[in-house]
Amino acid sequence: MESWSAALPHALPGRGRELALFDTSSGSVRPTAPGKQATMYVCGITPYDATHIGHANTYVTFDLINRVWRDSGHAVRYVQNVTDIDDPLLERAVATGQDWRAIADRETALFREDMTALNVLPPDEYIGAVEAIPSVASKVEQLQASGDVYAVDTDLYFRVRNDPRFGSVANLSESEMIEIFAERGGDPDRPGKEHPLDCLVWQSERPDEPAWDTPLGHGRPGWHIECAAIALDYLGPTIDIQGGGSDLAFPHHEMGASEVHQLTGEWPFARHFVHSGMVAWQGHKMSKSRGNLVFVSQLRHEGVDPMAIRLALLSHHYRSDWAWTPHGLEGAAERLARWRAAVELPYGPQSDAVVERVREVLADDLRAPSALDAVDDWVHSALTAGGSDPTAPTAVAHLVDSLLGVRLIS
């Protein structure tokens, strides 16, 4: 599937620090990316509605990681999926009388536009679930051959109990897992399952639903195996980061890691499982199913500068849950105007210290709010005391563009 494009970040003088990040599985902040090439798989959207601020927050988080890695000298290989076939898409198609493919194409195109506007670097591979169906089917066949898959009626399920590591991504108790599984697309109570947490890997054709012809029969993939298969195909059995919002830690990343483990024998699938916090609006987590959404495209059409949206997101640490407010966006727009005024000055205070500080705090589990404070300090001095360095304003603009992804000058 077509990705989107963005200008590569300016190379900054010197080299950034190695990034340490919180890993959900170990519950600790640890260094990332031991090799020259860093690999990252970020779960993409289910395109049945437009990109909302919660999505934007998640993709901007992983964009920061991409930028910090590049600044510290790593080549980055970044893969993202699009869940372009799944129940919510079919439900939306029935509810609105549209073709599910038309919805997926339209919302994916809008997502690309929103990501471009937010200056999010594109993945190297952007892969749809539909295009991954042959690969998913062959991996399910492999799991069948190893005894990791069984049939319930005409559907196929993964035996989580076969994997001794199952449970070690999200570290939840069995009762917590069962409760959350039911809330997030799982079916713990389906009769005929061997264990409530066994997850669907292949769903046979249902009346009036799309299905694909594969050696497993006519049907479509389960959700978790989709990402496991795409990540394996494009990145291999061990990657540096698998990422998404915190609602993906369980069951999605737990199940995917187990499936990869059973397929390859390798553990852990990701050296870091990285999860960003949830953004709320009107008192609840922003979600397509609840409908309490603020869309990126809507704000853009109202004339909001996407760089102000980006700054509003970056003013919260990526792991915290927070609530979107119009006031927060206004504050970000004011900050953006101040920063732009400062980098347009002919002279400014020396910039080495702010470059160093931004690198330091971002490398420490992406402390973006502290990075904004550091730039604020430089901007304040530039606008009040002034400075005598003619190269500093451009250097700070490049710093902010490269590492924070906020374009100050064109």
Which of the residues 77 through 116 are near ligand 5CA (CB under 6 A)?
81, 83
Measured distance CA(393)–CA(195) in Å, rounded: 61
Provide the minimum distance between the beta carbon of 58 and ligand 5CA in the complex, in angstroms, as a whole number: 4
Nearer to ligand 5CA, 79 or 286 (CB): 286
Whole-angstrom Cα distance, residue 317 to residue 298?
24
What is the footprint of ligand 5CA within residues 149-178 (CB under 6 A)?
A: none
Which lies closer to Zn ion via its Cβ, residue 43 or residue 136? 43
Q: State the burial class of residue 86 (Cβ atoms within 10 Å of its Cβ: 0-12, 13-18, 19+).
A: buried
- Please tell me whether residue 46 binds ligand 5CA under the rule CB under 6 A: yes
Specify the residue, 86 or 305, whose C-beta has the smaller distance to ligand 5CA: 86
The CA distances from residue 20 to 121, 160, 169, 371, 380, in Å, are 20, 31, 18, 15, 29
Helices (H), 150-220: 174-183
Place of tokens 């702010």: 354
Residues making contact with Zn ion (CB under 5 A): 43, 227
Judged by CB under 6 A, the residue of 12, 21, 40, 45 near ligand 5CA is 45
Please report, as residue ranges, which positions from 191 to 230 form the binding site for ligand 5CA (by CB under 6 A): 227
Using rule CB under 6 A, residue 61 touches ligand 5CA: no
Q: Which of 286, 372, 375, 399 binds ligand 5CA (CB under 6 A)?
A: 286
Distance, in Å, from the CA atom of 403 to the CA atom of 240, rounded to the nearest integer, reads 20
**Cα atoms in the 13 Å half-sphere on the side-chain side of 288:** 15
Q: How far apart are CA 9 and CA 77, in angstroms?
A: 15
Residue 262 interacts with ligand 5CA (CB under 6 A): yes or no: no
Q: How far is CA 61 from the centre of its chain?
A: 7
Q: Is 65 in the site for ligand 5CA (CB under 6 A)?
A: no
Residues that bind ligand 5CA (rule: CB under 6 A) add up to a total of 20
> Token pair of 8, please?
């590569």
Residue 32 in the binding site for ligand 5CA (CB under 6 A): no
Instruction: Rule CB under 6 A: choose which of 122, 221, 245, 405 binds ligand 5CA.
Output: 245
Query: Where do contacts with ligand 5CA occur on this chain (CB under 6 A)?
Result: 43-46, 54-55, 57-58, 81, 83, 227, 244-245, 247-248, 278-279, 285-287
